[in-house]
Structure 1
Amino acid sequence: MADLDPAEKIKELSSTLASVEAVLDLDAKQREIEELREQSADPELWNDPGEAQKVTRRLANLESTVSKVGNIRRRLDDLSVLYELAASEDDADTLAEADSELDSLRGDIGELEVRTLLNGPYDEREALVTINSQAGGVDAADWAQMLQRMYLRWAERHGYPTEVYETSYAEEAGIKSTSFVVKAPFAYGTLRGEHGTHRLVRISPFDNQNRRQTSFAGVDVVPVVEQSDHIDIDESELRIDVYRSSGPGGQGVNTTDSAVRITHLPTGIVTSCQNERSQIQNRATAMSMLQAKLLERKRREERAELDELRGESVSSWGTQMRNYVLHPYQSVKDVRTGVESGNPGAILDGEIDTFIDAEIRWMRSQEAAEK
């Protein structure tokens, strides 16, 4: 679009937006909004808090989407007027303002276009993210904590609420593991491409000989479970441990054994929660996390079985997926999509949308090829 005049650029963006509007089917969404508003106004709905929450969350999501698309369409219409004003008055400041708005709209429409690809069965869900330090000793623990900060900063940039359920701190520095939820519509569909092993190469700040160190951390992303999800869990197959919550360096943050760790013995899946002061609340949250991980495990097993029946190799997105190099050069590169950045500082500060958008497109192309 670089060689086009502003009118042609606006025309192209308008065409892209029209395609997005068609895929989103705004008329159908508006009809559903009216139906959901009627449901939410019914006092009897609130006799079932789970169903009420589902209805209100769906309503808020639809209203947000319709409002956002309408706002972008209005901004695009206003942009033509702004360019005409800049031309008629030969005003450089107004022209610069119009060019800036054009760039902003291009990004917003591109984000909407990617959203239309999030049509998987769980893509609308909130996301439960777990990070574990892997090979690399204290550097790996530090790396796991850096990744936690990266995702929390990403969520903060977008205004997405987060809640850290559990963090297990390493002895010297960093963390052994952490689990947190991103409470936003489509958080799972947006972040599921981040699942896999993240590799860091740098001069170790923990090595007095300043040697280069390679360390690894694993990121697991699963959809948050809802009441409609059914996962049978045999209580006899669980080991439940209670312990005292602690902070960095073993500093006590609670005076009672309220933290809960649940181990699912058949699969070895472990979940824990220490963010509540009540042992009952922590146990409920840990059980919900376990259900989410078992649901995702079941989904992946079913997918693997289908691939095997088709005679195809089993897809695995859980391998090494991104390299972060801080020495001897500066680079972050996704090994699947090829997307690369020479500014790891910005990436580690949460500016990962370019990588996420490319992952979504890549996953959809992979899924389409497998059908």
Structure 2
Amino acid sequence: MGIAETYSRGREFAIERPFALVLGVIAAYLLGDLLLGLATGQTQFADIGSLAWDGLMRGLVIGLAGIGLSMTYSILNFANFSHGDYITAGAFSGWSTTYLLAGLGRADIGALMLVGAGGSVYGGTLGIGMLSTPLAVIAGIVVAGGFTILLSLAVDRTIFKPIRDEGGITLLITSIGVAFALRYLMQFVFGSDVRGTTAQPPSVGLYLVDGTVFIDAHDITLLVIASGLMLGVHLLLQRTKLGKAMRAMADNEDLARITGIPTERVVRSTWIIGGGLTGIAGYMFILWKGTLGFNDGWLLLLLIFAAVILGGIGSIYGAITGGLVIGLTASMSVLWIPSAFARAAAFVVMIVILLVKPSGLFSGRSTA
């Protein structure tokens, strides 16, 4: 290929896909700046490793919670803004169980069930952790998933189902109302204070060239559970009759009805699967970061929406991939910008990628 032909193709690419060119230039600049920092010693390999691991953990939570939101959109055709408060509800129900089992006989039952509201009891004092109180943590995970399933089914039956035929806008506005109702109900019951939930777990150091990346038991728990559940969703969608029915309904609901697919059963299964994953994601998020507040799910919701949109609205695999991209961006961006702008950086990356690929990373392929 001659120089003239190379120039001609490069010029055509720049004209036809200017945003892709801009993205490439920005990526090259950031990579060059990172390599310069490593060469001059201003940036350490251990710092990059720690931030990448933190981003992976954050991305797994966002991706796991994003599956439920994506399923709701692809099958029920509305953006559920109460999804963030399902996350918080699952977290509180699970941690109430964990506190109760870990602190039974050591603290007041009421204080334990309220997850130490008002500083009445602390998770660190109870020694809560995956290694120190494994049964309490496992029970909390199960209850978080189960409670959120019951909550999502109850809300659907009493609120969403009667207005399901009214259209996506009506459902969306209603879901905002549900979100506020749930959030302030949790604030009323559990209090507005942010409380610590776990004792500091032992960690293992991974030695790099110029430092150490520390990984603890809660990180490994999150990695194993999130990866296992994501694999389970993949197998369900691809290998089971329910998964095929869900994919068919996501593609064309009217055709699915005509062919005899029990659509109400699919809707119920969507809430069960999405609710369970959402509740577990909420519990694991708190286990990983070690603090719990009534606003956690709402604050996480914006990043979840960003992940779902980035991956391609309605795509389960897109939600997972988008979650990892958003999580890694939010963590790694502090190498270049102040940490206060990390969340903003995640949204900027989402916008830039969508300018290049408007339909999302997975081109909007519904459900799978």
Which TM-score bucket, shorter chain as reference? under 0.3
Q: How high is the TM-score relative to the length of structure 1? A: 0.27
Q: How high is the TM-score relative to the length of structure 2? A: 0.27
Pick 1 or 2: higher relative contact order, CA cutoff 8 A, min separation 6. Answer: 2
Q: Which structure: greater helix fraction?
A: 2
Select the structure of larger CA radius of gyration. Answer: 1
Q: Which structure: greater strand fraction?
A: 1
